[in-house]
Amino acid sequence: GAVVSQHPSRVICKSGTSVKIECRSLDFQATTMFWYRQFPKQSLMLMATSNEGSKATYEQGVEKDKFLINHASLTLSTLTVTSAHPEDSSFYICSAGVVRPDPPYEQYFGPGTRLTVT
Amino acid sequence: RKEVEQDPGPFNVPEGATVAFNCTYSNSASQSFFWYRQDCRKEPKLLMSVYSSGNEDGRFTAQLNRASQYISLLIRDSKLSDSATYLCVVTTRTGNQFYFGTGTSLTVIP
């Protein structure tokens, strides 16, 4: 099956610093990568969708200057949380989508990164 | 209106019980449908795709009703290991946009 890795799995940082999270599809090329955020006892909230080589599309209410997404290749996307604040503490999950000629389309999730901002 | 709506539960059922979850979606042009399972503090994992003809995988049966715009998941003979949150996912025609339901929490009790 398709494997998606995320690094780091946990990070603790001080308020005001920036944190970069990597998402890699290990054994397939992902046409699209997604970034989600999940607060405790809530569902995943899509933050942005990124296609390789083009600018990410952000969901309403997500600050693109705060959450920088770089999708440099078909196997790597990065999310940088700039000037992190305690309210940015959350579980960040990436997924890699595979859009085939025929549905169903599928996406595979990374194991997530738990960010704690102190 | 939310793209996908689910009853959050929680559903607490005894071992061996049959439990069903429903999920409704608002976009009639939605293309693909899935059920994902998410364990506490873990990433979601694909449980099964949902096809118009309905599909079964062991104790799990998924069905799609396009006319009424809902999908369902039936779990028979519940096991303790089935305890998790079940997420309903709907994609657009292009397949590039995935919409998640809020998830339904299931606890199977010994």
Cα A10 to Cα A82: distance, rounded to the nearest angstrom: 17
With contacts defined as CB-CB under 8 Å, which chain B residues touch A104? 31-34, 49, 51, 91
**Residues A71 and A61: beta-carbon distance below 8 Å:** no
Do B109 and B82 contact (CB within 8 A), yes or no? Answer: no
Q: What average pLDDT does range B24-42 have in this prediction? A: 88
Whether the Cβ atoms of residue A43 and residue A53 lie closer than 8 Å to each other: no
- The pLDDT of residue B22: 93
Q: What distance, in Å, lies between the first and last C-alpha atoms of chain B?
A: 38
Question: pLDDT tens, A45-101?
Answer: 889 988 877 889 898 899 999 999 988 888 999 999 999 999 999 999 999 877 666
For chain A, list residues whose CB is within 8 angstroms of any CB belonging to chain B: 31-32, 34, 42-44, 46, 49, 51, 91, 93, 95, 97, 99-100, 103-112, 114
The pLDDT value given to residue A10: 95
pLDDT tens figures, A93-118:
999 877 666 655 677 899 999 999 99
* Arithmetic mean of pLDDT over chain B: 90
Overall average pLDDT of the B48-71 stretch: 91
A72: which DSSP letter? Answer: E
